[in-house]
Structure 1
Amino acid sequence: MEQVKILFVCLGNICRSPLAEAVFKHKIKGTALEKIVKADSCGTSNYHIGDIPDSRTIANAKKNGVEIDHYGRQLCTNDLEQFDYILAMDNSNYQNILRLAHASHHSDKVQLMRNFDPQGKGLEVPDPYYGGERGFQEVFDILDRSMDQFIAHLEEVHLSGAKA
């Protein structure tokens, strides 16, 4: 079975996208998907290259039983070639991804994360950076339910008919 590569993208790669990556990895742990999926996250900006995620993101993830192991990195043109799914947290970063050189050849890979949210298809994952704990929990809840639908999509597309 061919490896499936997923990239979660936000602005700084310290709040939403590393949390999305961690929630995803947590949910697929021990499943057939874990054997065929590689997930990563990055930011469209260069603000936090090499930094660990925001301490509030780490604390919120831990409170919800999810561990984060990630260092910030910036999106690059090569990511368009390397990844099969590129999930942007908001419209601004979605547009930033599509501005990369040769992005038009890969636009079918780029989607909004909340396209998989049964309670908010097409909406944005809000940036909790300037808010408090409630904002971080809201982001976790959005990613948690969106990830369930995304995982169901991956299972249908990449595991149907395959032995788990």
Structure 2
Amino acid sequence: MTAPFRVCFVCTGNICRSPMAESVFRARLAEDGLDGLVEVDSAGTGGWHEGDGADPRTVAVLRAGGYENAHTARQFHASWFDRLDLVIALDSGHLRELRRLAPTAQDAAKVRLLRTYGTGAATGATDDLDVPDPYYGGFEGFEECLEMVEEASEGLLAAIRAALPAPTVVTARGADHDNRRTAREQHRPQEKESA
């Protein structure tokens, strides 16, 4: 089996938006049967909250939406690009910062903005593709973020599904079966080609 496809969601402190996106997307993968093929995590561009859990408002919104959340905040490091297939920024500031942090142009191309996968982005219905930071606002801001994350997750799931290698069908045959076939082919007389 090939290595899993690896995705990391990134926001500022890794306590609000990116853990929310990680939880939602992990649930979407499980629903789609892809959780064994895709690994998901999250991080922040800064380390201010490293080691902390998700913001209690994030936890409450996720719980109300039926999502699981076990989270410890951490900071994104440039060395992670080597092992990641896709780095999902939650706003345009994160996008710029992550692309500057990328060691190569190929790594910078792995960085995408989450809401570019949403239906509004596909139809050109919105100019602002940021998931706004709810940290300094009320509970409604967290609910709004969850809606944006959920909507964009469907398109992201479709894009990752398309990027995964097609499943290989393997038939189970015993070694004796394969050996008998090889032996028959070796003893088969050569046919002459006709002109």
What's the TM-score once normalised by structure 2's chain length?
A: 0.78
Q: Is the 8 A contact 2:10 2:94 kept in 1?
A: yes
Which residue number corresponds to residue 106 of structure 1?
107
Q: Which runs of 4+ in 1 moved over 6 A?
A: none
| 1:141 and 2:147 matched | yes
Largest Rg, 1 or 2 = 2
Instruction: Give the residue type in structure 2 aligned to 1:16.
Output: R
User: Structure 1 residue 29: deviation in Å?
Assistant: 1.3
Q: Note the residue ranges of structure 2 that are not aligned, 5 or more in a row.
A: 123-127, 170-195
Output the aligned Cα RMSD.
1.7
Q: Distance in 2 between matches of 1:19 and 1:110?
A: 18
User: Structure 1 residue 105: deviation in Å?
Assistant: 3.6
Which residue number corresponds to residue 132 of structure 1?
138
Q: Is the 8 A contact 1:88 1:111 kept in 2?
A: yes
Which region of structure 1 is more displaced relative to structure 2, 72-81 or 24-33? 24-33
Q: Deviations over 1:114-155 (max 9, x none)?
A: 110112466111111011111101100000010011101111
Which region of structure 1 is more displaced relative to structure 2, 3-12 or 89-98? 89-98
Quick one: higher RCO (CA 8 Å, sep 6+), 1 or 2? 1
Q: Is the 8 A contact 1:115 1:123 kept in 2?
A: yes
User: Residue 41 of structure 1: SS of its match in structure 2?
Assistant: strand
Which residue number corresponds to residue 167 of structure 2?
162
Instruction: Give the residue type in structure 1 aligned to 2:81.
Output: L
Q: Distance in 2 between matches of 1:163 and 1:12?
A: 40
What's the TM-score once normalised by structure 1's chain length?
A: 0.93
Q: Deviations over 1:67-111 (max 9, x none)?
A: 111100001011111110000001111111122251434111001
Which residue number corresponds to residue 56 of structure 2?
55
Instruction: Report the count of equivalent residues.
Output: 163
The change in CA–CA distance for 1:101 and 1:87 in structure 2 (over 3 A counts) is closer
* Identical aligned residues as a percent: 34
